[in-house]
C-alpha cells in the first residue's frame, strides 16, 4: 500500500471513530424525580406501588427508566429545594403528592411535567385551569379532601353516641386544610352539632391545642395536612388520654392508633399516577390529561382504639368497613 493511500485510509477511520462510539453508547434513560412529601419510611407502601405499576407498564427501574427519590419531610422549604434540584437535573417528569408540595414544584418550573398522586382543590389552588383541561405542565388526581369532610363528620356522629360537640384541628398555614376545616364546620352545623376550631402552625402548638379543648368536645376531626401526619403518634396519644374518638384523612394515622379513616385508597391513586407518568413519557402533554377523581374509597376502623375508648362500634358500620384493625 502506498504511503498516501495509507494516510487517507487512516484519516477516514479516525473521522469515523466518534460516529462509531456514539452508535455504541446507550441512549439516555428517561428520569423520574419523586418528590415525596414526608419521609422514605412513611412512604414505603406508595413508593412500592409506584415502582410496581411502572414495571407493569414496561418502565423497569435502572434498565428502562431512572428514578431519583427525594423526601421533603413535611417542610415546604425542603420541597422547594428538591424541586430546584430536579429542575437543574432536567428530569423528564416530577411525581409528588400533597398540595403544598405540588405548589412548590409548580412555582419552580412551567416546563417539566408534574404529576400529583393526590392534592386538595387543584383548581382553587391554581394547580390547573380546570379538571377537564389542566392547561399547563401539571396534572394528576384530586384527593377530594374538602368534599369528604361532611361524610367524615357524619361517620363520627354515627360512632359516638349522643355526639353534640366536635373539635376540628387544622394547620392554618395550609390553605387546603383551612378549606377542609370550613367544610367540616358547615357539616357539623347542618347536623346540629357545635364545632370548635383548633388552629395550629407547628408541632409545638399541638399540646396547647389539646389543653384548650378540655371538656369542650366529644370527638375530634383532623384536617388533612402533613404536619398532623408527621406528629400522628403525639396526636393519637393525647386524643386517647383525652378520651376523644378521632376521624382522620390519612390511613397512616389510624394504623398508628387513631380511631377511623375515611378517604381514597392512596395505593390505588399512586398506581393511577404511574399510568399518567407512562403517558407523559410516551409523548402525552399534561395540559391534555384531565385531572382524575378517586374512584376507590375505604373506611378503616381501629378496634383496639375503640376498646380503649370504651366505644361500641355499631355492627352496621363494622359491616361497611373495608378493614378492621384488631
CA distance linking residue 119 with residue 177, whole number of Å:
11
pTM (2 d.p.) = 0.85
CA distance linking residue 144 with residue 148, whole number of Å:
6
CA distance linking residue 301 with residue 259, whole number of Å:
6
User: Mean pLDDT in the chain?
Assistant: 90
CA distance linking residue 222 with residue 80, whole number of Å:
26
- Kindly list the structural domains of the chain, giving each domain's residue range(s) and its CATH number in brackets, ordered by start: 31-143+265-296 (3.40.50.2300), 149-264+298-325 (3.40.50.2300)
Please report which confidence band the pLDDT of residue 167 belongs to, taking 50, 70 and 90 as the band edges: very high
Cell matching residue 74:
413535611
pLDDT tens string 22-80: 444 457 899 999 999 888 888 888 899 999 999 999 999 999 999 999 999 878 889 99
pLDDT tens string 290-313: 999 988 899 999 999 999 999 999
CA distance linking residue 298 with residue 148, whole number of Å:
12
CA distance linking residue 194 with residue 185, whole number of Å:
8
From the list 44, 108, 115, 46, the residue with the least C-alpha distance to 82 is 108
Amino acid at each position: 500500500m502506498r504511503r498516501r493511500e495509507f494516510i487517507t485510509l487512516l484519516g477516514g477511520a479516525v473521522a469515523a471513530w466518534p460516529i462509531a462510539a456514539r452508535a455504541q453508547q446507550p441512549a439516555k434513560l428517561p428520569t423520574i424525580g419523586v418528590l415525596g412529601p414526608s419521609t422514605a419510611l412513611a412512604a414505603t407502601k406508595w413508593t412500592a406501588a409506584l415502582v410496581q405499576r411502572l414495571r407493569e407498564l414496561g418502565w423497569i427501574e435502572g434498565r428502562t427508566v431512572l428514578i431519583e427519590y427525594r423526601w421533603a419531610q413535611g417542610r415546604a422549604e425542603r420541597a422547594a429545594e428538591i424541586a430546584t434540584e430536579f429542575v437543574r437535573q432536567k428530569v423528564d417528569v416530577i411525581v409528588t403528592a400533597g398540595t403544598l408540595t405540588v405548589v412548590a414544584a409548580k412555582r419552580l418550573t412551567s416546563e417539566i411535567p408534574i404529576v400529583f398522586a393526590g392534592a386538595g382543590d387543584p383548581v382553587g389552588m391554581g394547580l390547573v385551569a380546570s379538571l377537564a383541561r389542566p392547561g399547563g405542565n401539571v396534572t394528576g388526581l384530586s384527593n377530594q379532601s374538602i368534599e369528604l369532610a361532611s361524610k367524615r363528620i357524619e361517620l363520627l356522629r354515627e360512632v359516638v353516641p349522643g355526639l353534640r360537640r366536635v373539635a376540628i384541628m387544622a394547620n392554618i398555614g395550609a390553605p387546603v386544610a383551612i378549606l377542609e376545616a370550613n367544610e367540616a364546620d358547615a357539616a357539623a352545623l347542618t347536623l346540629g352539632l357545635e364545632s370548635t376550631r383548633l388552629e395550629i402552625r407547628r408541632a409545638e402548638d399541638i399540646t396547647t391545642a389539646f389543653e384548650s379543648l378540655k371538656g369542650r368536645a366529644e370527638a375530634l376531626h383532623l384536617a388533612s395536612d402533613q404536619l398532623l401526619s408527621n406528629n400522628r403518634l403525639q396526636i393519637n396519644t393525647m386524643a386517647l388520654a383525652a378520651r376523644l374518638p378521632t376521624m382522620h384523612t390519612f390511613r397512616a394515622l389510624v394504623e398508628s392508633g387513631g380511631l377511623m379513616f375515611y378517604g381514597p385508597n392512596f395505593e390505588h391513586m399512586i398506581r393511577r399516577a404511574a399510568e399518567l407518568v407512562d403517558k407523559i413519557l410516551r409523548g402525552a402533554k399534561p395540559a391534555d390529561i384531565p385531572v382524575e377523581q378517586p374512584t376507590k374509597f375505604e373506611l378503616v376502623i381501629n378496634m383496639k382504639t375503640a376498646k380503649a375508648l370504651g366505644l361500641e362500634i355499631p355492627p352496621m358500620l363494622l359491616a361497611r368497613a373495608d378493614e378492621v384493625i384488631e
